[in-house]
Structure 1
Amino acid sequence: MQLLQNILEGVEVLDIKGDVKVPIDTITFDSRQVKEGTAFVAVRGVQADGHEYIPKAEEARASAIVCEALPDVLQQDIAYVLVGDSGEALGKMASAFYGHPSKKLNLVGVTGTNGKTTSVTLLHKLFRELGYHVGMISTVQNQINENVIPSTHTTPDAVKLNELLAQMVKAGCSYCFMEVSSHAMVQKRVAGVQFKGGVFTNISHDHLDYHKTFDEYIKAKKLFFDGLPKGAFALVNADDKRGPVMVQNTKADIHYYALRKAVEFKGRIIDNTIQGLHMEVDGHEIWCKLIGAFNAYNLLGAYGVAVLLEEDPVETLTVLSSLSSAAGRFDYIVSDSQITGIVDYAHTPDALENVLTTIQQIRNPTQKVITLVGCGGNRDAAKRPLMADIACRYSDKVILTSDNPRFEEPQAILEDMQKGVKPLDFKKTLSVLDRKEAIKTACMLAEPNDIILIAGKGHETYQEIKGVKYDFDDKQVLREMFKQLGK
């Protein structure tokens, strides 16, 4: 429990009506969670405006209401705080309420279109192997050392984020590695959070349903680096042409990693096979379990972070060579008849192309590549034909199917994807609406030594249809079909 005046530390307050010495024991932006002792922050969101729920918060006897516009009638027993940006206020209040936990950790954020989850997973595993207590916040799961906490968003809301960070501090963590999404930046979820460093992986076409233009998406990512403090580090992929743009206005110390350029953290792929990567990193040769050029970048980024955090380079590379990737990232199984099934989260054009070019590099000339891909509903529709085109370009057979249709009609999503199939590719493309049937079809088409890529859902163990999440695990279904078909 803290006094309201204490948790308003650092918040730009325009006006106060009522007693700021009122005790606060919870902060929320959800009016359904309000009770006596709660500070309700009215945040203007995408789906709803929290200001519309101020009457409900008053009725539930909130102790304080933080908002951008005061109600016409004020309740005598409630403290009202007028702010310019309630989203930013929520972040700063949450940080103060939980004792500024980010200042007690070496917190490193990773942002970019692809590679965020693998990067933070590698860093979490690396620093655990190096002997530290470590936290992780990711799309797949959150972790405090080996304790797994389910994840609902790439970056949690400001209250949940600071609660998690506080739990990490209590558990003795000295490091935390977290994904920072573009949505989180725009929605000020990391306001009040202090980062030791930030990593930029890459940027490509994604989330235009939310950001509307690619330029706005780039600006959202750049906000993260604009906010890094002096003395922090910004580690940027120099091979991405927008890397330097990210750090144009940062106060942080800028460092670069690359495969194609001579920079501070330089890597080179010597060999790339289904067994893993043979690389040279800063003059040292290593074998890694991860596969593909995109993972070479993830490994390089993790290496750069460790060195910038003053870990020994050779020991770091030794540990990295033993690590595996995150769940659902180039996650493969081999059937009894030697068909390789790869499950990958690739749900953007760039990610799909990365995975398929990697498969092309490691396949032998006699192996057919069968790609199964879908696109999520209520998301950026512009990428749907691009995904289908990329699948056709790099595959011998393509099956278009459902991903998470959410509240869209699956057939309409498929029709959007079909627009990307060129006339020459019609014969090798099938559309199978039911995802389980589509996986079965892929297995039926595959012959010994062929490669099946099941793209889009990766680690997810559900399929979301009309607001309901049904159990569905691509890897498990793939195993079942191999067994059912005797393959």
Structure 2
Amino acid sequence: MLLKEFASLLKLSTIHGDADTVITGIQTDSRKIKSGDLFVCVVGHRMDGHNFAEQAVENGASALVVERKVKLDIPTIYVKDSRIALALFASAFYQYPSHKLKLIGVTGTNGKTTTTYLIDKILRDRFFKTGLMGTIQMKIDHQTYSVENTTQESLELQKNLNLMVKRNIDYCIMEVSSHALEMGRVIGCRYRTAVFTNLTQDHLDYHGTMEKYKQSKGLLFSRLGNTFSDNPNLNKFAIVNGDDEASSYFKKLTTAEVFTYGIEKEDVDVRATDIQITSQGTQFKVISFAGTLDFHLRLIGKFNIYNALAAVATSLIEGISLEEIKGSLKQMKGIDGRFEAVYENQDYLVIVDYSHTPDSLENALKTISEFAEGKIVCVFGCGGDRDRTKRPLMGRIAAKYSDYVYVTSDNPRTEDPKQILIEIEQGISDSGMAKNQYELIVDRYQAIESAIKNAKEKDIILIAGKGHETYQEVHGVKNEFDDRLVAKKVIRSIIK
């Protein structure tokens, strides 16, 4: 593309220098610049791309996109908002890939990963080629890639959507975080379906209030568009949790056809009744606009019923029968780090779960309490440089549902791990839990080891917070650490 073709996409942009400069790539990282690249100076929360413009030029950038003047003799596009410009330019450069496949976005505090995997499983079983983007990984058909963010930055996102188009992917199912929506990472994406799981406290360090957090989630629904089409492939759908109060707000934001799912309310479009939860799985009846059928999941817990209902509603819209959906969900064994059992022939149960919010921790512990025969032991912590207000809340929740609690490090990042534990302990103390019922152990390995070594027959140990993660970030350094591998190692050392 020519520089002037990029500039023409924004009416208020201006070009200084050669407008016919040929652009062969786009970058936001000055270290990755190659000759022919357009360097977009994105203003972030921690770094400002304008400060790296000179380095980008030295590395061979052919042109810049800036919000303010830079003293560099190079063709430059001036824009009001470089982040929006990046999303628009990336979409155009990669030829609007989201227009060429069916894009399903899933947002919410908890359940995004599981819901996307369930939808992916159902679609693949119907011989559709799928792409998946989320917290654990990116998947294109059967090939997987590591990821850094739940939702990729707009440049990387458009590049990978284009890769999916080239590989003839039919559907891309992606997790859409509130950060991504607020920061404009998914601007330019044409979603076919937007799915909402739930809204509970998280990320208040970034959003400030629950109201602003909800408004950020709402951007996914408001951006579905305001038009209708006689082409069925261009129809838009909103799927929301009818039991969550935030859904009424999202319904008002969209002109897309709205489908509701839930358990508590009878007037939803897809509902679960006759629920039975055991340590072996979950059974329930689905009553839907497409029929009624009994379902069985290997996944455990009420929260997973909600995830399944969201997947059911999404799949029904795509013309998949309830019977076919049932067959796919019955086969689903589980998702990495989501209520994942660690078994090495021990006589107690160890579960690793990604529950890192008050609501998700409560969901996990409540589910365990429904089938526990022995004591419930919880090993958890809270991440550093994140929402501090949830720390005592999670302490109270752990104390409420557990017989014994080990408070330990999660990803302390740049914070003092001991201070994080003290803030969690405040919630435990407020709950009235006796001091001989919990311990503060900074070292996560030691905490997991203590919990397992002290376990008795039929006890259940929940190791919460990190789930699928294979690292622990301490003082800004990521060290190898996998809760599942640590638990297996300790169990083997005991029973050998």
Shorter-chain TM-score bucket reads: over 0.9
Give the corresponding residue for 1:245: 249
Give the corresponding residue for 2:305: 296
Structure 2 unaligned residues grouped into runs of 5+:
228-234
Does structure 1 residue 276 correspond to structure 2 residue 281?
yes
The one-character-per-residue Cα deviations of 1:51-73 (angstroms, maximum 9, x if unpaired) are: 222233333342221122233x4
Deviation of 1:88 after TM superposition, in Å, equals 1.0
The one-character-per-residue Cα deviations of 1:245-266 (angstroms, maximum 9, x if unpaired) are: 1232223222111111121111
Taking the TM superposition and a 5 Å limit, the aligned residue runs for 1:40-119 are 40-71=39-70, 73=71, 75=73, 78-119=74-115
TM-score, length basis structure 1: 0.95
Contact 2:116 2:174 in 1 (8 A): yes
Does structure 1 residue 136 correspond to structure 2 residue 127?
no
Contact 1:9 1:93 in 2 (8 A): no
Give the corresponding residue for 2:230: none
Seen in structure 2, the aligned counterparts of structure 1 residues 123 and 11 have a Cα distance that, compared at 3 Å, is: farther
Give the corresponding residue for 2:272: 267
Deviation of 1:156 after TM superposition, in Å, equals 0.7
Q: Counterpart amino acid of 1:415?
A: I
Give the corresponding residue for 2:399: 392
Separation of aligned partners in 2, 1:222 and 1:345: 24
Deviation of 1:29 after TM superposition, in Å, equals 1.4
Give the corresponding residue for 1:127: 123
- Equivalent of 2:323, from 305, 311, 314? 314
Contact 1:12 1:83 in 2 (8 A): no
Deviation of 1:10 after TM superposition, in Å, equals 3.9
What value does the CA root-mean-square deviation take over the aligned residues?
Answer: 1.5
Give the corresponding residue for 1:221: 217
Q: Please give the secondary structure, in 2, of the residue aligned with 1:417.
A: helix
Q: Counterpart amino acid of 2:264?
A: R
Give the corresponding residue for 2:158: 162
Deviation of 1:242 after TM superposition, in Å, equals 0.8
- Equivalent of 2:342, from 333, 337, 350? 333
Contact 1:403 1:457 in 2 (8 A): yes
Q: Please give the secondary structure, in 2, of the residue aligned with 1:204.
A: coil
Q: Counterpart amino acid of 2:283?
A: H
Deviation of 1:186 after TM superposition, in Å, equals 1.3
Separation of aligned partners in 2, 1:439 and 1:328: 16
The one-character-per-residue Cα deviations of 1:23-50 (angstroms, maximum 9, x if unpaired) are: 1111111222223211111111010122
Give the corresponding residue for 1:414: 421
- Equivalent of 1:254, from 252, 258, 266? 258
Separation of aligned partners in 2, 1:216 and 1:456: 24
Give the corresponding residue for 2:232: none
The number of aligned residues is: 481
Separation of aligned partners in 2, 1:12 and 1:139: 36
Contact 1:258 1:267 in 2 (8 A): yes
Separation of aligned partners in 2, 1:3 and 1:11: 14
Give the corresponding residue for 1:429: 438
Separation of aligned partners in 2, 1:165 and 1:61: 27
Q: Counterpart amino acid of 1:275?
A: Q
Separation of aligned partners in 1, 2:198 and 2:346: 37
Q: Counterpart amino acid of 1:43?
A: V
TM-score, length basis structure 2: 0.94
Does structure 1 residue 236 correspond to structure 2 residue 240?
yes
Give the corresponding residue for 1:30: 29
Deviation of 1:473 after TM superposition, in Å, equals 0.9
Contact 1:11 1:93 in 2 (8 A): no
Contact 2:110 2:360 in 1 (8 A): yes
The one-character-per-residue Cα deviations of 1:153-212 (angstroms, maximum 9, x if unpaired) are: 100111111111111111111100000011111111111111111001001111112112
Seen in structure 2, the aligned counterparts of structure 1 residues 400 and 163 have a Cα distance that, compared at 3 Å, is: same
Seen in structure 2, the aligned counterparts of structure 1 residues 7 and 104 have a Cα distance that, compared at 3 Å, is: farther
Q: Name the % identity.
A: 41
Q: Counterpart amino acid of 2:278?
A: T
Does structure 1 residue 368 correspond to structure 2 residue 375?
yes
Structure 1 unaligned residues grouped into runs of 5+:
none
The one-character-per-residue Cα deviations of 1:264-297 (angstroms, maximum 9, x if unpaired) are: 1112252111111111112200111111010001
The one-character-per-residue Cα deviations of 1:103-132 (angstroms, maximum 9, x if unpaired) are: 111000000000011111111222111111
Q: Counterpart amino acid of 1:5?
A: K
The one-character-per-residue Cα deviations of 1:323-366 (angstroms, maximum 9, x if unpaired) are: 133200000134434200000000000100010111111223xx
Give the corresponding residue for 1:438: 447
Deviation of 1:74 after TM superposition, in Å, equals 5.1
Separation of aligned partners in 2, 1:153 and 1:284: 37
